[in-house]
Structure 1
Amino acid sequence: PKGVLTTHANIEAQISTLVKAWHWSQNDYTLGILPLHHVHGIINVLGCCMWSGACIQFIHPFSVEEVLKAFIQTRINVFMAVPTVYFKLIQAIESFSESDQKELKEKMKGFRLMVSGSAALPVSVMEKWKSLSGHYLLERYGMTEIGMALSNPYLGERRAGHVGFPLPEVQIRIVDENNKEIELGDSGEIQVKSPCVFKEYWRKPEATNKAFTSDGWFKTGDIATIEDGYYKLLGRDSVDIIKSGGYKISALEIEEVLRKHPLIKDCGVIGIPDEEWGELVAAGIVCSEAIQKEELISWLKERLPAYKIPRNYIQLEDLPRNAMGKVTKNELKKLF
């Protein structure tokens, strides 16, 4: 990883922007369960909490049981986590008795804000969490280099599978491979200008120069499109955009479809090098029971065009993940 050099002014801008956008106050009480080497844990949770004079309770190491106990026993009203955490909480809550589920839902309905980030939130997880908690999770988009850039609204419609609108003082543009702004409806790279954007990569002038355009836009490497004003992430150009047979395919779109299969608990879609196609679409899947490849392909044919259907599959006990619970696609590639 490259060291991201952030100034005090950057950090102040990152925190104050979120405090305003997400209505933080000294009356808030949150849980600290995310690693503090990551912008989600250190800025979005701890930084905003301290800036506002709110209260934070740490749970380390992470424990589903301790989190749910804190939901019931404390005055928590703000909760931020990654999709993997919400998935684990859902599994635990579904094992509760009907009366315990009802008690927990009543408690969670009193929360002011619940946020998901650091990885794409499957729509299926969003909908299941809504039924168990009464909350439609707020999704947002950011990076260590830029803090948060886009967010679904605190007040107003939060759209599943989308990361909302630019935050105050954040300029966003979507461009093609030649840094030309794209037509509405097309997809391209997200580029950012903002007081939140970092100064440089630590002792890496060449990497810093490559990360910015000549006119000062930071190149995120993330691909998105705009639908009805809402930004929709298609994935990271280096790992989530698969270039196969002349097509640019979003791995996140295929993952969303795969998760709807009744036997698939989780999945990761990647491109593996191929002489004929450039890359072949492949999938690592975590299943509740074994699935035959032919059956899965037949099921997918009713839901995806042929060129998006994975050709290769491996069934795993779990997917390789980093400290934030995000699937590490490069490690998944090695398994093929």
Structure 2
Amino acid sequence: MITLIERASLFTERVAIKSDGENHTYYQLLEQSEHVSANVLQDKKDLNQARIAFLVPASFSYAAVQWGIWRAGGIAVPLCEKHPLPSIQYVLEDTQATTVIYTEAFTELLSPLFKSTNIRFIKYADISLKKCELPTITLDRSALILYTSGTTGLPKGVVTTHANIEAQITALTTSWEWNKDDHVLNVLPLHHVHGIINMLSCALWSGACCEFLPKFSPKAIFDIFSKDEVNVFMAVPTIYFKLITYFNERTTTEKKEISKHLSKFRLMVSGSAALPVSVLEEWKEISEHTLLERYGMTEMGMAISNPYNGTRRPGHIGQPLHGVSIRLVDENNQIVTVGEPGEIQIKGPNVFKEYWRKPEATAEAFTADGWFHSGDIAIFDVDSYQILGRNSVDIIKSGGYKISALEIEEVLRTHPKIKDCGVVGIPDLEWGEIIGASIVLKLDELSVEDLTSWIHEKLPAYKTPRKYIFQEELPRNVMGKVTKNDIKKLFT
């Protein structure tokens, strides 16, 4: 049986989900998810891993639908609320989804598909309060298909089993000491492991409360924090940057009040993109918390984490989580010596089953002896791993050097006139690649000449950008991660 759902019976009277101003208990979650199962099953005894997509906002309804699909024997395919119809249609066609569950807010978006496909569409409000005998679900069954961002081609569907999900959850609940008295505020989209696994599923496994904020707003977040109910918070660097900006615009009295509430938290985590050291340091001044950085991917959940108890080193991601094996290898798949850069490879029960209907891509993702290729480059420094960047976009190969774009970005962000930046490699016949930097300024103007002169004092010549562009904002995906291929196009 699915342990995550079985455990809910231990906490029936506790609040599981807080959304839209209402509290929902674990008992209500079990009841409503069973109604979803019965409606999806119709007269079937088992969905037998049919793909059931759903477009439901972050809420109690989302959790009930996800659990209902699982309890009926289906594979859950969460759709992104912010995606246009062609992106949604791609996922539906690729997964061969038989059913879509949606809420009223998405009727207009999905309406062109109602008559043009054979997919069954179920409006959430029309789910009847019926029950039925539910199938027995083994942990080796496929449970979830999440789509990669598609930075190197069309998005691929990452298939994880119930066993994979359980391994991902238990690695975090053990390492981060989750307990039933925790209360997490979830502000991230729920088509990504950060929101689905790290927050929602870890909270529900522990008997804790997961509160949803339907629309991002720094003020709304701080207003919730002021109630002293939330004690766990996880976000992407972009969100912390926006919270810091909002904080800095407040009065001295308001700042002290906010900081007082933040200091009471048990845990604050940053992930899904590299955390600028400057953001980490400023947030620590505000909250008294050193953000816990961790490392993971859609294909494996979380694999490496800074310690919950212990020293967290800025710019580092820590050590392997419980049950996860990590190694660093060179281009010949040979293990590198300590202090040398290498690709992170992962092995463990957390690692995904396959790319949906892509056997060749699945085979290429693993070594002959079963290690998953992350494509991320890191070094092991003293006692923890430090990410240098993604092999395809963050490692710039110029004149025989391998240069970390993240290192250059950290230096650029220390300039008093620079708000943010994105560094990329630009194809070049002579050098292979040259370094380009997209700059977002604060208020004042900054000339390329002055910036070039400044950075030459900070970095060796081979690490300094040769080209600059200035933008009002960096291009980002829905998780707040900078889309560097979009920056590259501006240069090329």
TM-score, normalization by structure 1: 0.99
* 2:314 is the alignment partner of 1:160: yes
Partner of 2:453: 298
Q: Helix, strand or coil: the match of 2:335?
A: coil
Letter in 2 for 1:9: A
Unaligned runs of 5+ in 1: none
Q: Helix, strand or coil: the match of 1:6?
A: strand
Q: What do the CA deviations read for 1:61-91 (whole angstroms, capped 9, x no partner)? A: 2111111111112410000000000000000
Letter in 1 for 2:469: I
Q: What do the CA deviations read for 1:176-233 (whole angstroms, capped 9, x no partner)? A: 0010000111001000001000011000001001000000000000000011121000
| Counterparts of 1:16 and 1:245, CA distance in 2 | 45
Q: What do the CA deviations read for 1:117-141 (whole angstroms, capped 9, x no partner)? A: 0000000000000001110000000
| Counterparts of 2:210 and 2:201, CA distance in 1 | 10
Q: Helix, strand or coil: the match of 1:335?
A: helix
Number of aligned residue pairs: 336
* 2:414 is the alignment partner of 1:280: no
| Counterparts of 2:257 and 2:441, CA distance in 1 | 31
Greater radius of gyration (CA): 2
Unaligned runs of 5+ in 2: 1-154
Equivalent residues in 2 for 1:77-92, closer than 5 Å: 77-92=231-246
Partner of 1:124: 278
| Counterparts of 2:287 and 2:166, CA distance in 1 | 33
* 2:384 is the alignment partner of 1:230: yes
Identity %: 63
Partner of 1:5: 159
Partner of 1:325: 480
* 2:364 is the alignment partner of 1:213: no
| Counterparts of 1:183 and 1:52, CA distance in 2 | 39
| Counterparts of 1:20 and 1:70, CA distance in 2 | 27
| CA-CA distance at 1:100 after TM superposition | 1.1
| Counterparts of 2:210 and 2:248, CA distance in 1 | 27
* 2:484 is the alignment partner of 1:309: no
Letter in 2 for 1:316: Q
TM-score, normalization by structure 2: 0.68
Equivalent residues in 2 for 1:220-259, closer than 5 Å: 220-259=374-413
| CA-CA distance at 1:24 after TM superposition | 0.6
| Counterparts of 1:138 and 1:74, CA distance in 2 | 20
Partner of 2:197: 43
Letter in 1 for 2:255: Q
Deviates most, 72-81 or 119-128: 72-81
Q: Answer whether contact 2:228 2:261 (CA < 8 A) is retained.
A: no
| Counterparts of 2:366 and 2:398, CA distance in 1 | 28
Letter in 2 for 1:143: M
| Counterparts of 2:357 and 2:424, CA distance in 1 | 32
Letter in 2 for 1:196: N
| Counterparts of 1:39 and 1:65, CA distance in 2 | 25
Partner of 1:57: 211
Quick one: which of 352, 355, 359 aligns to 1:201?
Answer: 355
Q: What do the CA deviations read for 1:250-291 (whole angstroms, capped 9, x no partner)? A: 000000000000000000000011111111100000002221
Deviates most, 59-68 or 10-19: 59-68
Q: What do the CA deviations read for 1:277-312 (whole angstroms, capped 9, x no partner)? A: 111100000002221111101100111000000010
Quick one: which of 168, 176, 188 aligns to 2:330?
Answer: 176
Partner of 1:94: 248
Quick one: which of 221, 224, 230 aligns to 1:67?
Answer: 221
Higher RCO (Cα < 8 Å, 6 or more apart): 1
Q: Helix, strand or coil: the match of 1:73?
A: coil
Deviates most, 263-272 or 101-110: 101-110
Q: Helix, strand or coil: the match of 2:367?
A: coil
Q: Helix, strand or coil: the match of 1:36?
A: coil
Letter in 1 for 2:366: F
| Counterparts of 2:210 and 2:336, CA distance in 1 | 42
Letter in 2 for 1:7: T
| Counterparts of 1:290 and 1:312, CA distance in 2 | 17
| Counterparts of 2:429 and 2:417, CA distance in 1 | 32
Partner of 2:267: 113
Q: Helix, strand or coil: the match of 2:226?
A: helix
Deviates most, 127-136 or 284-293: 284-293
